[in-house]
Structure 1
Amino acid sequence: MNWNWGKSIVVAFVLFCGFISSIVVAAFQQDFDLVSDTYYQDELVYQERIQEHSNLAQSGVKVSITQEDNRVIFSFPQEFSGANGEIHFYHPSRSIFDRSFNISLDEARKQSIFGEELTKGRYKVKLSWTSNGVDYFQEEEIFIR
């Protein structure tokens, strides 16, 4: 069999087409989640979030988020003793891992969320609460082990 430049070009072209085809097939098999299903409604209330974050900055205190053993512990300062609101765990890569919990503080102004309720990985924790008629918002990233 005689090997020449023409055959080499055809083989290279066939290999290139196979490579591009495999990339296209792999791309169509990926699952891309939107940041939020209610993206446009969330954008409309964005100014409210800015004000809530500003209220938190003016208060001079923040909610402490720590991990102990197999729990995530939220410690609210004395200023937020009567807090009502929501804790939202946003998982950036898969929306099926997102979880929301109502704020329910104990006598020590703490709330624990057990690790079994969350999938391991990186989360953006969004706390939104009202205390003494003022709305607050705090956002932090954590890694659940």
Structure 2
Amino acid sequence: MESGGGPLVVVPADVLTRWEGADSEGPESDYDRACAVAGYAGLLAVGPSHALVLGDEPSSTAFLPEHEVFVRWVAAESEAELLGSVEAALADAAWEDGQVWDVPGPVVLFDSAWPGSEVEPDNHARVDLAAGRYEVRTALAQPNAETAFQLVRMVRLR
């Protein structure tokens, strides 16, 4: 998933239409709130739920369901090189403890400037997370001098 320049956001599908993006009424739009998130990830209220903001840089992002991790491209010679480094990086990462996110079910990844009611097939990705509580952990991986990527891992809490 790509961004037009701002952060990407992961919104629960059941509150997707409540995300107003840059079109919000009032003094601060949802996009403004997303841009104010410091660090690699943060949570913002959306109706009765929360959205996960993937902050720091507007990096190309993919979700790898087998590891329940968002991978955010910082630098790499190729996509294959980056993705080939993920498994080792997951084992070696210096994880930062994160926030607890109550996920009601599937979520949608898209550019935070878009209103959730206007997501289209080519500007979002559906992520089938199981409902539950997750700790969101983040890390920066640098497996070699030419490759770096951010990891935002969803750790299911029991």
TM-score for the superposition, normalised by structure 2: 0.28
Q: Greater strand percent: which structure? A: 2
Greater RCO, CA 8 A, separation 6+:
2
